[in-house]
Amino acid sequence: MNKKLIAILCCIMLTGCTTETKTNKTKTIKEETPVVLTTKGHDVKEAVNKSETITVKTKASGEIKSTKSEVTIPSINEGDLIQDTTILKDISNKGDENITLNDHQSLIENNKNSIQYEGT
């Protein structure tokens, strides 16, 4: 057989064998009222042995472009809430605990797992 004919047949066979199925999934986003935690009526423990990793991105001249801090608080077995002091802004929680910020003090739900959050 001719090489061109073989090449054409191979292309037809390869494209004919591939199929792609797409499913459209709709994701519903619910707006929830944020939980505001208070110390009233709760046993509050201070965050201890907290570790913090700070990443600083700079320009070649040394000028700071951005900073990001990642905080880990090891699990605490006692207390309903964990209190932590922070000067971070734009805090986002990496877990599912509720966090309330008030004047550099954060109150965090204690789910007895390590808590991780980040901010600038």
Threshold 0.85, pTM exceeds: no
How would DSSP label each residue in 4-66? HHHHHHHHHHHHHH---------------PPP---STTS-EEE--S-EEEEEEEE-TTS-EEE
**Domains defined along the chain, listed by start:** 41-120 (2.60.420)
Encode pLDDT of 4-14 as tens digits.
667 666 556 65
Tokens of 108: 């965090």
Instruction: In whole angstroms, give the CA distance from residue 12 to residue 6.
Output: 10
Encode pLDDT of 60-111 as tens digits.
999 999 999 999 988 888 778 888 888 888 888 888 888 888 888 888 888 8
DSSP state of 92: E
